Amino acid sequence: MLLGYTSIAVTLLIWASFFLSLKGGANSVLTPADIALTRFLIPAVFLFPLIYKARNAIASVPKIYLIGMFIGCGLPYLIVTSSAMQYVSVAQGSALVPGTLPLFVTMIAVFFFKQPLSHHRIIGLSLVISGIALFLYSSFSVNGDHANNTLIGSQTLGQLLFLLASLMWAIFTISARVANLNALVVAGLISFMSSILLVALIVAGVLPSYLYEQSVTQWPFNELITHGAIQGVGAGIIAAATYLYAVQTLGAERSAAFGSSTPVIATLLAIPIFQELPTLNSWVSLALICSGSLLASNIFLKKDASLDYEPPKRHA
């Protein structure tokens, strides 16, 4: 149990650091493609032996689920989140992705897998929707105060991109569950696929890259090391293993409950690092989204959270 609690604590710190790393990248000369390189190349190299060993199991997975995992956790997801972080604070970004995940997972489960909605989950998702609405209302109010405001202000655009990222992560969650592959195999496969596509897009000039356009002597190595440690080693390898171990030792519902505190940890860390002081509306929105996510995770029920949503598993 002690190792389980240690694992979930490490996972939460890595998840929170992931959003801090995105914010640091948004404030630097590095482009979203450069951040993606630090995220995918390291796990692609280190986990390739696992990918090769599991090649037969991977080949048996329906292509639709492989595509869903790639879109929801691979290069498309990271490009969306990296772009969104240029417009919003760490508090909003960290709340809108993991906080709204239960909303989109439930929507997919209800509409595509015909899963029933429990009363406590309806209450929890209502709180999540209220928090999202308050975030959007606040940004519209701020944008409305500017004379040269556009149809969609920059902050609202960032929030909408993060909601899209949350939907993508929900697609990944369900696709990975139905695919039923080892967590590290999934992490390595997504990183390998993303690395190949990313390098091709950079070389073709589709995605701008500061690293590709500048000489090696001009690279910000301190930033690259930091992003590589947090994005590549942390989020790409360690978090996948520690979260899986936490679920196995503490249970799914307890691990999900701890996961809902990620936005709070990220927000508190962003105060001294980026001097981001959330407004009262942001704190209220954060509280609504986190508490709603907590309720929707089934932590207050005796049964395990995983039993409330069970898509059909594929058969070999």
Q: Residue 202's pLDDT is what? A: 93
> Which ranges constitute the DSSP H helices of the chain?
2-26, 32-46, 48-53, 55-59, 63-73, 75-84, 90-96, 101-113, 119-144, 154-179, 183-203, 210-213, 221-227, 239-250, 252-259, 262-274, 280-296
Of all residues in the chain, what percent carry a pLDDT higher than 90? 19
Residues 113, 114, 120, 126: is their CA dihedral positive or negative? positive
Q: What is the pLDDT of residues 94-103, one digit of tens each?
A: 888 877 777 7
- Reported as a single tens digit per residue, the pLDDT across 16-37 is 888 888 787 767 788 888 888 9
What distance in Å separates the CA atoms of residue 174 and residue 72, rounded to the nearest whole number? 10
- Model confidence band, residue 76 (pLDDT cutoffs 50, 70, 90): very high
Contacts of 38 (CB under 8 A, 6+ apart): 224, 227, 228, 231, 232
The string of pLDDT tens digits covering residues 256-299 is 667 777 888 888 888 898 888 888 888 898 888 888 877 776 66
